[in-house]
Amino acid sequence: MGFFGDLFEKKTCAICGNETGRIFGKNKLSDGNTICNDCEEKLSPWFEDRKQSTLEQIKEQLAYREENKTAAAAFRITRSFGDGSKKLLVDEANGKFMVTGSRNLAEDNPDVLDFSQAIGCNLEINESRNELKETVDGKRVSYDPPRYEYSYNFYATIQVNHPYFRTMRFALNSGSVDTGERSMNRSTSGWNMTGSFTSSIANGMMENKYYEYVNLGNEIKRMIENWRNAQTPVRDENPPQRQAPVQQPQQNAGGWYCPNCGTPNEGKFCGSCGAPRPM
The pLDDT tens digits for 187-212 are 444 434 444 444 444 455 667 788 89
SS (H, E, C) 12-25: ECCCCCCEEECCCC
Greatest mean pLDDT range, 180-189, 214-223, 227-236: 214-223
Residue of higher predicted confidence among 36 and 5: 36
Residues in the chain: 279
22: confidence class by pLDDT, cuts 50, 70, 90: low
pTM of the model: 0.71
- Alpha carbon separation from 232 to 112, 116, 228, 229 (Å, rounded): 21, 9, 9, 8
- The residues facing 153 across adjacent strands are 126
- What are the strands of the beta sheet with 96-100, ordered from one edge? 79-81, 87-91, 96-100, 113-114
Domain spans in the chain, listed from the N-terminal domain onward = 1-70, 243-279
Q: How many other C-beta atoms can be found within 10 angstroms of the C-beta atom of residue 159?
A: 15
Cα 205 from Cα 179, distance rounded (Å): 9
Looking at 51-60, 204-213, 244-253, which range is the least confident one?
244-253
